């Protein structure tokens, strides 16, 4: 679930915790561009 990967913190089960699925935005957006078939230099 991509939305969870965009938040450094998460509340799950009523408890706040560091989100282990978080991906820093530079890396996350690069991955998305690559998945969409674009090139990072376009």
Partner 1 sequence: MRAEKRAIRLAGATLDQHRHVCAFFHSREEEYRVLLPFIVEGIEQGERAFHIVDPRRRVAHLRRLQEAGIDVSAAERGGQLEVRSWEEAYLRGGRFDQEAMLALVDEVLSSPSAQRFPLTRLVANMEWALEDRPGVDDIVEYEARANYVLANYHDAVI
Residues forming the site for partner 1 (CB under 8 A): 2-12, 14-19, 24-25, 28-29, 32
Shortest spacing between CB 1 and partner 1, in angstroms: 9
Shortest spacing between CB 2 and partner 1, in angstroms: 5
Nearest-angstrom CA–CA distance, 34 and 8: 22
Tokens representing 17 are: 């915790």
Q: Which CB sits closer to partner 1, 11 or 34?
A: 11
Of 36, 41, 9, the closest CA to residue 22 belongs to 9
3: how many CB neighbours lie within 10 A of its CB?
Answer: 7
Shortest spacing between CB 40 and partner 1, in angstroms: 15
């Amino acid at each position: 679930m991509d939305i969870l990967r965009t938040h450094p913190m998460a509340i799950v089960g009523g408890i706040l915790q560091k989100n282990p699925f978080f991906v820093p935005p530079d890396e996350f957006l690069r991955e998305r561009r690559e998945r969409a078939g674009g090139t990072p230099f376009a």
